[in-house]
Amino acid sequence: MTTAIAVEAQSARKDYGSGQFAVRALDDVSVRIEKGSFFTLLGPSGCGKTTLLRLIAGFETPSAGKILLGGRDITYDPPNKRPVNTVFQSYALFPHLTVAQNIGFGLQMLGRPKREIAAAVDKMLALVQLEDFAGRKPQQLSGGQQQRVALARALAPEPEVLLLDEPLSALDLKLRKEMQRELKRLQTETGITFIFVTHDQEEALTMSDRIAVMRKGNILQIGAPREIYNHPKDRFVADFIGETNFLSGTVEEGAIRLTSGDLVEAPTQGRSGKVTLAVRPEQVRISGAGDPGSLAATVADSVYFGTDTHCHLRLADGTEIVARLQSAASGEAGLARGDQVSLRFEAGAAQVVDE
């Protein structure tokens, strides 16, 4: 069964300026985003994720390549001719209008009948759970409530695609986590394709069906959150998505000989010579000194984070490895600086990554 594609970029490129002053913000990017999915563009500032979003929205025109929506070429269509809405970092609510009037504003501009607007507003108020706030003004709402109004206003015309440009960045940590769950709920209930831009890897992992990791105008890897996290293609992806230990070594008879002299089992995938291993901190296990088949290490530091304790360990050559341990784990969380221990990696945890 063929999956319907909502949005497709074909060899999209975007240059700003010309000649020696030209800056390439997007470099030959191709991506297909499935209809009804929650798709996230993830990467550091300046990687091109917002530029790609603006090409889809119609706020920018590509220097080369195409943008398709539902298989139709919309590369040069103006924003108002695209069934696409955008939610920005700033809520941009009208302060003189009530919540209900803000939500219905876009429909009013489209010339929809009053009865249809009223029904759509009621539906959106229920969807974002703000029925009791319909008559309030934006300044009478919390940041999270204002964000819900902005979402309701964008969803009211039932666009084919909703673009979200770091909409949670202005919220505090607790509220941001609540809104992550809220966004995913809204996407699931409406079935609308969401394309979300963020530099926050936790947001991407929490909400997305698929993630595209970007860097310097390119997409490095596309996959489901678990795939991206557990099987990063290169060092940048492994480092950007969560915390990672990187170990240098050399391929030796199907295993990796670390610079510390220890031998680690890992899939070498036909590689030879020097390689880099990536291991997540939560996949490192600590046991007593002298444990057979383990790596000898010294505790350099132990940092308590509440739910977790991060143990910084040093191998014989000074290579540092961080182990993330549940703080409830007896003994391990109480390790002291200078303690001699053994460490091992969970089966399949060590991944060879490209530099």
Strand order in the sheet with 5-16: 23-34, 5-16, 64-69, 72-73
CB burial class (10 A; 0-12, 13-18, 19+) of residue 303? exposed
* CB distance 227 to 312 below 8 Å: no
Same domain for 128 and 271, yes or no, is: no
37 in the same domain as 21: yes
Contact 40, 204 (CB under 8 A): yes
pLDDT at position 1: 56
**Half-sphere exposure of residue 92: CA atoms within 13 angstroms, side-chain side:** 13
Q: Verify that 14 and 118 share a domain, yes or no.
A: yes
How many independent structural domains does the chain possess? 2
Range of the domain at 277: 243-353
pLDDT in tens, 87-117: 988 888 999 999 999 999 999 998 999 999 9
Tell me the one-letter amino acid at 30.
Answer: S
Which domain CATH number covers 310?
Answer: 2.40.50.140
Tokens found for residue 224: 């489901």
What pLDDT sits at residue 330?
46
Domain co-membership, 206 together with 131: yes
324 and 199, same structural domain?
no
pLDDT in tens, 269-278: 788 899 999 9
Q: Are residues 22 and 116 in the same domain?
A: yes
CATH of the domain at 46: 3.40.50.300
Q: With beta carbons less than 8 A apart as the criterion, state whether 266 and 350 touch.
A: yes
Q: What is the pTM of this model?
A: 0.90
Among candidate residues 190, 215, 235, the one where a domain is terminated:
235
Question: For position 2, what pLDDT does the model report?
Answer: 64
Together in a domain, 166 and 311: no
Tokens of 108: 């009013």
Residuewise pLDDT in 10s, the chain (355 residues): 567 999 999 999 999 998 888 899 999 999 999 999 999 999 999 999 999 999 999 999 999 999 999 999 999 999 999 999 999 888 889 999 999 999 999 999 989 999 999 999 999 999 999 999 999 999 999 988 998 999 999 999 999 999 999 988 878 888 888 889 989 999 999 999 999 999 999 999 999 999 999 999 999 999 999 999 999 999 999 999 989 999 999 998 878 999 999 988 888 878 889 999 999 999 999 988 888 888 999 999 988 888 888 999 999 999 999 999 887 654 445 678 899 999 999 988 898 998 7
Determine the Cα angle at 50 with ends 47 and 55, to 5°.
Answer: 120
Residue 12 tokens, joined: 């999209």
Q: Are residues 201 and 327 in the same domain?
A: no
